[in-house]
Each structure stands twice: as structure tokens, then as C-alpha cells.
Amino acid sequence: MRKSDKREKILSLLNAHFPDPSVPLDHMDAYTLLIAVLLSAQCTDERVNQITPILFKKASKPLEMSRLSQDVIYKIIRPCGLGPQKSKAIKNLSKILVQEYQGKVPQDIDLLEKLPGVGHKTASVVVAQAFGVPSFPVDTHIHRCAQRWGLTSGKNVVTTEKDLKKFFPIEEWNKLHIQIIMYARNYCSARSCFGLECPICTSCYPKRKSKFIHKKP
């Protein structure tokens, strides 16, 4: 299959299944999205969405959060896992936002990545979904599907992000990030399909007979 044909087929199927995808993490603004994405590391979106209403009832702005003790934050977010690290990061990044950014989340991805607990993926999600800046954050779902669909060599998530940005038009990146995650969870999960069952896998590789062997991120 030609590259252009594969791209159009994938876009068509994703748009058919998830025409108007929304961020699966509940949030009110850029700051609450930042906190929710930070909490989602090694935790399900469902669990995060159960915890954030409790946390945001206590504090939904950087100034409010910076005034909470780390222990109070920890006791609320503990079910999300990695509680000590995440509670420390949430308090410290909130203090920095107040002291250096007038309580606002910066739109620059490089500035976001300098905040405690904020890696490239988290920063990419925030600039894409809160500010509309073209970005293509790659998580394990996207990394897995990109390999199965033959869009990347799969060496690591950095390579996968670069390959996907080359393959898809920039105006589609922010929407695609959510679409692929939703598609992966519903049709091309880590414990099923294996490149043999879902509509996109079978469209891209109709003659594939054996399970696809992944390269871990």
C-alpha cells in the first residue's frame, strides 16, 4: 500500500469511529488539565477522573494549590499511585506558576517541561489540548499502534513522535493524538488484535498472518 493511501485509510477509519474526540481527562482549564495529565502517569484516566474533583474542590488554581500542604495533596491523590513524587511536583509547580508566571500555565512547551514533574508527553498534551498548539504526544497506546500500522521503526517514543509528525499533516496532530488513544483502547489493545484483527491493522496489512512483535518504548 502506498504511503498516501495508508494515510488516507487510517484517517478515514479514525474519523469514522471517533469523529469528534474529546480529552478523556476531566478538566476546567489549562492548569487543571496539567494536574490531571501529571496524575495520569501510571494510572488510568478513570481513576484520575475520580480523584481530581476531590482535589480541585480543595484547590483548582495555582495559588490555592501552593497553599495546601504536600501531605494534604498526597492523601487525596494517593489512589493514583506515585503519591509522594506527584504531590511534591504538584505543590512545587504550583508555587512556580504563582511566582514566575502570574498564576498562569505557560503556552511554551520548553517552559512547561522545566516545571517539576512535567515531562515532554505531559507538556505536549497541555499545549495541544489547552492552547491548540500543534503537538503529537506519544503514549504507550500510540507507540503500539504506530508499530502495528507500520508508521514507525518503534525504537522509542521519541522516534515514534518524529515519524508520526512526518506521516500525518500538522493540522491533524492534536485530533489524531486523542483519536488513536481511543481507537487503541477499543479496537487495538495491548492484549488483543496483535496486528491481526482491528480494521486499521487488517487494512494496512491484509496478508499479515502472525502476531506482530512489538518494540517496547
Task: Out of 121, 162, 166, 175, pick the active-site residue.
Answer: 121
Mean pLDDT by 10 residues, the chain (217 residues): 94 97 96 98 96 98 98 98 97 98 98 98 97 96 96 90 97 97 96 96 96 82
Per the domain annotation, does 145 fall within a domain?
yes
Note whether 41 and 127 are same-domain residues: yes
Length of the chain, in residues: 217
| Type of residue found at 59 | A
Quote the strand ranges of the chain, DSSP E: none
Name the 3-class secondary structure at 112. Answer: helix
R_g (Cα) of the chain, nearest Å: 18
110 is catalytic: no
Cβ contacts of residue 107 below 8 Å, gap of 6+? 127, 131, 133
Domain termination site, one of 82, 113, 131: 131
Which one of 6, 86, 91, 139 is the catalytic residue? 139
Structural domain of residue 158, as residue ranges?
136-204
Identity (one letter) of the amino acid at 142?
I
Residue 139 annotated to the active site: yes
Quick one: pLDDT at residue 217?
65
Q: 104 with 184, same domain?
A: no
pLDDT at 3: 92
Cell numbers found for residue 162: 518524529
